[in-house]
Structure 1
Amino acid sequence: MALSHETPSHGGLVVIGSFRSKTWTVVHFPYRVSSVKSSPVVNENLHWFTSTESWSRFFARHQVIYFNPRKNIFRKLPMPLPKDGNGDILLGLGVLEGCLCMVRSCEHLTDRMDRVEVLVMKKYGIKESWTSMFILSNLPNLHIYDNVLPLFFTKNGEILMKIGKNCVRAYNPNDNSQRDIRIPAYSPYFYAAVYEESLASPIDYN
């Protein structure tokens, strides 16, 4: 579990907790950031994407960083080649079949966007292993300040993703089809997390 508290100009503090050992560690976040989102765990490292521009955390270019709890260090993760040469605007990080994945905007700097690209890092830590999985288009009412979180593959090969504040969408890479997943109890905002059956309870984000 990771909780972050950051200040735009001087980084901040990250609290790392373990449910098994019931221990907590406070570490300094050594980046000048204005946004820290997502914290998937891959290769025993916790990951976030950060923006280093203070003028606008949503329109700023992003870098993925990770924290290694064993060595108690932060490092930058190699990024894929940017689409426009200046860096990418990221909307979310996730894990698909054990590999870190990211969602980046395919649009120019604008409030609304219609297309996003999903990439996966097939070999952890290797820049050249970033591979484009697919591009999602015709996304309804997606803003640059919304998250797009890849969740998991379903049994029929669809990829389930949480898009924006209250939408879950299934994408089928075989025929490029998309469909919305109806949420029984409507809420203006809800959280989604992947949970594997075990004796540990899921994290209560709310």
Structure 2
Amino acid sequence: MFTFDSSKNDYKAVMFMYDTYSPDRRKFVTVASLKGKKWRLHEFAYEIVSARDGITLHERLHYRVRVKHVWDGYGGHNTVIYFDPISEKFHMLPIPEHGREKNEIAGLGILNECLCMARQEHDRGFEILIIKQDGIKESWTSLFS
């Protein structure tokens, strides 16, 4: 996936990889600047099983990720992380809890220049939410269920 770094007037490519030859299938991220044309191994602190979507908003790449849980193996796509191309760091986006159940994020998108997500509710269908202020958990607003 690509995102733009306005501080350097450059595009950056971000790729999630895993080492198929290691016994634990170690995961890592590589980042490359299109001007620099060199891939760099990047520190990645999250224990994820998969990353989907790669939605770019305000120069940040957002992914819905499946996190590995110690108590139950593999959960659903249950959180959102984003890559900041200026600092070249990943951050977890706070998302609202979903009662006692795990979040199951069905997809990410952009609506009115805000990140939105579709979240599956096991017994009621789907809920569509948008975040009005980046990084502020309380700014998530449910549009409809």
Give CA-to-partner distance per residue, 1:101-130, whole Å, 9 cap, x none.
11111116xxxxx72111100111111110
**Equivalences for residues 168-183 of structure 1 within 5 A:** none
**Equivalences for residues 55-204 of structure 1 within 5 A:** 57=74, 59-60=75-76, 62-82=78-98, 84-107=99-122, 115-135=125-145
Instruction: Verify the 8 A CA contact 2:127 2:144 in the aligned structure 1.
Output: yes
Quote how far apart the aligned CAs of 1:40 are: 0.8
Structure 2 unaligned segments of length 5 or more: list them: 3-13
Q: Structure 1 residues 11, 63: closer, same or farther in 2, change over 3 A?
A: farther
- RMSD of equivalent CA atoms: 2.6
Whole-angstrom CA distance in 2 between matches of 1:103 and 1:56 = 23
Of the two, which has the highest radius of gyration?
1
Q: 2:54 aligns with which of 32, 36, 39?
A: 39
Whole-angstrom CA distance in 2 between matches of 1:28 and 1:10 = 16
Instruction: Verify the 8 A CA contact 1:10 1:32 in the aligned structure 2.
Output: no
Secondary structure of 2:138's partner? helix
Higher relative CO (CA 8 A, sep ≥ 6), structure 1 or 2?
2
Give CA-to-partner distance per residue, 1:14-43, whole Å, 9 cap, x none.
334555x36454323321111111111123
Whole-angstrom CA distance in 2 between matches of 1:23 and 1:131 = 40
Secondary structure of 1:101's partner? strand
Whole-angstrom CA distance in 1 between matches of 2:18 and 2:108 = 19
Asked if 1:28 corresponds to 2:43, the answer is yes
Structure 1 unaligned segments of length 5 or more: list them: 109-113, 136-206
Quote how far apart the aligned CAs of 1:3 are: 2.7
TM-score by length of 1: 0.52
Per the alignment, residue 183 of structure 1 pairs with none
Identity in percent: 30
Instruction: Verify the 8 A CA contact 2:62 2:83 in the aligned structure 1.
Output: yes
Give CA-to-partner distance per residue, 1:24-71, whole Å, 9 cap, x none.
5432332111111111112321111222226654x4361211111111
TM-score by length of 2: 0.71
Per the alignment, residue 50 of structure 1 pairs with 65
Instruction: Verify the 8 A CA contact 1:33 1:50 in the aligned structure 2.
Output: yes
Give CA-to-partner distance per residue, 1:80-117, whole Å, 9 cap, x none.
132x2343011111111211111111116xxxxx7211
Quote how far apart the aligned CAs of 1:11 are: 5.8
Q: How many residues align?
A: 126
Whole-angstrom CA distance in 1 between matches of 2:110 and 2:26 = 25
Quote how far apart the aligned CAs of 1:10 are: 6.9
Whole-angstrom CA distance in 2 between matches of 1:80 and 1:41 = 21
